[in-house]
A and B are shown apart, each in its own frame.
Chain A
Amino acid sequence: MGRYVIRRLLQFIPTVLGTMFLLHYITSLAIQFSGNPVRALFGDRTPPPALLEAITERLGYGDPCLDQRGNPCFGLFLDRLQNIFFHFDFGINLRQRDVTDLVADALPFTLKLLVIAIVFEAVVGIAAGVLAGLRGGSFTDYLVKISTVFVISVPIFVLGVVVREFVGVKFGNVLRGQEWIPDVISVGVFAPVFKQEYPLASLIIPGMVLGAVSLATTARLTRTSIMENIRADYVRTARAKGLTNKRVIGVHTLRNSLIPVITFLGVDIGAAMAGAVVTETIFNVPGIGRLVTFSARTGESSVVVGVVTMLVLVVLLANLLVDILYAVLDPRIRYE
């Protein structure tokens, strides 16, 4: 097990370096083809060349290779790696703030959002899947099937905006007009957008929106998996032994049915980070997703490279964790 983990960790190195180079190349190309982002800061006012140059230099866009279209800027890449790995310096954004500070500010919000989303999709998704799977063809089964199709077919940005406008604004305004409803519900949970006074309550609805799409997939995966396992030999054996229904379903069937679901949830952390880019912008959550959106829009290459590298690490670690969890769930799987 230990050796397996070390081998996996070593595999991270080429993956991370490769991603970083790709990002570096893409952002450099963006600057080479769409111009110096520092010039755009001044807008219609043409800055004196000396000032433009000083600020360009300060912000790290002064390398001459950024003027040569197609140049992969290896020198700049090496500098960047050196700064990141030896000095833990991810560079600064266009407002001269350290990328590490930006991430440190934004991370807590995104983590909270992700936890809410994953818990929501795991708990509700698995429960719905089990209910539907145990009674195939019943009313609950159809209800789960139809409602999940509905959720899957709505893109997250549509869902987000619809929820913000109808749940947060319209329904929320009705609640806010009722005296007897406590503030934490009417002003916090049903706030149209993230609210600093209710840092957790106002994240619940955005988290549920973020988890909604994967919730449908989780429910359907669990349902199929349960239906398959419930007819398996070992379940029949367990029943024949006279075990209680609770134990047959809860321990024998469910535990084995959860393997594909756990894989999905692990991979889904990456997808949820991507979804966070959309939900955080819609619900004004000051997290990583909103940060990436904003930096990509303004062309802040150091932020994009730094943040996405960190995201890649998160996804890699999540996948490793999932692989290790397999061994816990399924005694047949062993890592040498």
Chain B
Amino acid sequence: MRGKFLKVAVVATATAMLATACGGGSNDDESAGKTGGTLKVYNAEPAFLTPSGGDDEPSLYVIRQLYRGLVKYNAQTSAVENDLAESVESTDQKLWTIKLKSGYTFDNGEPVNADSFIRSWNFAAYSPNAQNNGYFMKRIAGIKDVQSQDPDGDGPQKAPEPKAKELAGLKKVDDLTFTVELEAPFSGFPTTIGYPGFFPMAQACVDDIAKCNETPIGNGPYKIDGSWQHNVAINLVRSDSWKGDAGKPDRIEYRIFADVDAGYAAFQGGELDVMYTLPPARYKEAKATYGDRMFELAGDSFTYVGFPLYMDEFKDKKIRQAISLVIDRQSIIDAVFDGRFAPASGFVAPSFEGARPDVCKYCQKDVEKAKQLLAEAGGWPAGKKLTLWANAGAGHDQWLQAVGDQIKAALGIDYELKVNLQFAEYLETADKKKFTGLFRLGWGPDYPFMETFLYPLYGTGAGSNNSGYSNAEFDALMKEGDSAASMQAALPSYQKAEDILGEELPVIPMWWRKEAAIYSENVDQFVWNAVADADYGATSLKQN
């Protein structure tokens, strides 16, 4: 249940098909969708229902209906549109001025003003509050002063109080205006603030965060009915205090399941209107049964196989290119995954603005070229086994073995699997750069801007750069894009940076997950937001 931030897709419109299925054909040209009704959706148990805490998919699905932020994403194009913000502007990409629209309030009557945003961001960033979304505040100036580290690593001494309680980079100008200073210029800043971690919080919420988690005080189109019934359900009803575009259903009921198979059975039994996670084993069956009511699209959840560049065997890029060249991605996807993935030929999700096909010149199977490259690089050390790493219990063994078999068949390099580490230890191994061979890892974007697929994974010293890749030219291009005058102007620099990766291959791009959701006959129009996934507030039901 990894925290997913966004996925790119388009709106599913099946109105016409559904109308025929009903035999009526009466609701032609109803593209707007009707309001009313109760929408029952599948959900797993969220971690938190506060903007500062919830960073996993089930939490975000609920938070996005309860709360609203400065910007929202266009359902089809993923473009950033102002929501509560009047404007988000900067001249140097470092100091951003944010003006808010007036008149918005929280469910408890508190106004949504500059303070509510500053309060929320400060709360998330202050490390003693232990909020998961503190991670997302990392660009704001003064972040280091609100997070403190244990002086001796792991106890016995406790971490000291951080130097400051508030982020130095956040300043209130007036009730509806505030400025955000970043540590370094970043042209993509407006795309980041549509993430729920940047949504506002009421004073009453921060004062009693535990209570606010159970009975959220939101500012969005829906409010909670009663409180969070843990592991059972979360019921939302239309909020009267919301001034923006109203949601379509009168009521959204999130039914909580611990197991996707049980959720799928409930869907089959007609108890759910939307089910967005399908059990892999039932995928084919679901596609056959609910073909016209299945929404499917190549998403932006990236799987790659990384090279430990700190090991001598992998320092030569020709070795890396040779290994990538012998992998036939499509055949593995078909054989192991029933086609639930789309092969990758680049490092940025195909649906992102600025993404181009075939950036990676070594991602199509070509054994002859691979053999030649391997020979040029001086061959693989005789007798040495190639180790392939993956975390245990997550179903990675099978495809990784297929990768190993293809390498062995084509290049004669013998391999061994190392798939016994649990996820936590596996990640710690990654953080410490202790992998001794190729390793599987994934990535999901944090915001709809191609930078999110580049710097965090390949920038020198970046957080999730597990290969230990370092290239001065790449870093310079990233910096150039970050300080470009606009998001559009930044793309060419990022594309050049991606080209470097396509040649140097610090990791082997494998595939993008296809997003699949099924919906019931009650649903009139199912809406999938390009960034925020299934948008339940915008999904309409058939009215009788």
Contacts and interface: CB of A to CB of B under 8 A. Distances in A.
Decide whether A and B assemble into one complex: yes
Interface stretch (A33-41, A127-135, A210-218, A232-240): A33-41
Nearest to B257: A284
Contacts of A102: 230
Interface string B143-159: 00001111000111011
Binding site of A, secondary structure by majority: helix, strand, loop or mixed?
A: helix
Given A33-B425, A282-B259, A53 B138 contact: no
Contact of A34 (B268, B425, B464): B425
Nearest to A53: B150
Interface in A86-101: 94-97, 101
B48 A95 contact: yes
A299 B424 CA distance: 10
B444 interface: yes
A116 B446 CA distance: 47
A54 B266 contact: no
Interface in A23-53: 33-51, 53
Interface in A219-278: none
B204 interface: no
A77 interface: no
A49 B144 CA distance: 11
Interface in B427-481: 427-428, 430-431, 441-444, 446, 456, 463-464
A193 B270 CA distance: 11
Contacts of A330: none
Interface in A118-154: none
A46 B231 contact: no
Interface residues of B, number: 60
Contact of B269 (A64, A173, A196): A173
B266 A286 contact: no
Contact of B230 (A36, A97, A196): A97
Interface centre among B159, B423, B464 (most CB of A within 10 A): B423
B384 interface: no
B16 interface: no
Interface string B22-49: 0000000000000000000000010110
A113 to B, nearest CB: 14
Interface stretch (A3-11, A14-22, A164-172, A314-322): A164-172
Contacts of B259: 281-282, 284
A55 interface: yes
Interface centre among B256, B425, B463 (most CB of A within 10 A): B425
A183 interface: no
A305 interface: no
Given A48-B135, A173-B268, A39 B427 contact: yes
Contacts of B128: 54
A192 B424 CA distance: 34
A193 B268 contact: no
A106 to B, nearest CB: 7
Contacts of B463: 45-48
Nearest to B156: A64
A197 to B, nearest CB: 9
Given A53-B159, A105-B231, A164 B262 contact: yes
A42 B129 CA distance: 16
Interface in B194-247: 210, 229-233
A70 interface: no
B154 A286 contact: no
A290 B259 CA distance: 9
Given A45-B3, A284-B257, A53 B149 contact: yes
Contacts of A48: 134-135, 138, 147, 463
Contact of A44 (B138, B156, B464): B464
A153 to B, nearest CB: 23
B427 A50 contact: no
Nearest to B427: A39
Contacts of B155: 62-64
B426 interface: yes
B83 interface: no
Contacts of B442: 43-44
Interface string B404-422: 0000000000000000011
A317 B538 CA distance: 53
A323 interface: no
Contact of A55 (B132, B230, B233, B422): B132
Given A97-B230, A192-B271, A57 B265 contact: no
Contacts of B134: 48, 51
B158 A192 contact: no
Nearest to B302: A44
A191 B267 CA distance: 11
Contacts of A37: 424
Contacts of A281: 258-259, 262
Contacts of B230: 97, 101-102, 105, 286
Given A44-B442, A95-B47, A192-B268, A50 B464 contact: no
A192 B130 contact: no
Nearest to A34: B422
A284 B258 contact: yes
A112 interface: no
B127 interface: yes
B127 A169 contact: no
Contact of B428 (A39, A44, A293, A299): A39
B263 interface: yes
Given A40-B424, A286-B256, A62 B154 contact: yes
A169 B255 CA distance: 17
A164 B259 CA distance: 13
A37 B256 CA distance: 23
Nearest to A58: B130
A57 B159 contact: yes
6 contacts: A35-B428, A57-B159, A94-B47, A192-B262, A195-B271, A286-B231
Interface of B: 2-3, 45, 47-48, 127-130, 132, 134-135, 138, 147-150, 154-156, 158-159, 210, 229-233, 255-259, 261-263, 265-266, 268-271, 421-428, 430-431, 441-444, 446, 456, 463-464
Leading 10 A-B pairs by shortest Cβ distance: A35-B425, A35-B424, A34-B422, A50-B147, A43-B2, A286-B231, A192-B269, A284-B262, A46-B463, A40-B424
Given A34-B424, A286-B256, A286-B258, 9 more contacts: A36-B424, A43-B2, A50-B147, A50-B148, A57-B130, A165-B265, A168-B269, A192-B269, A299-B424
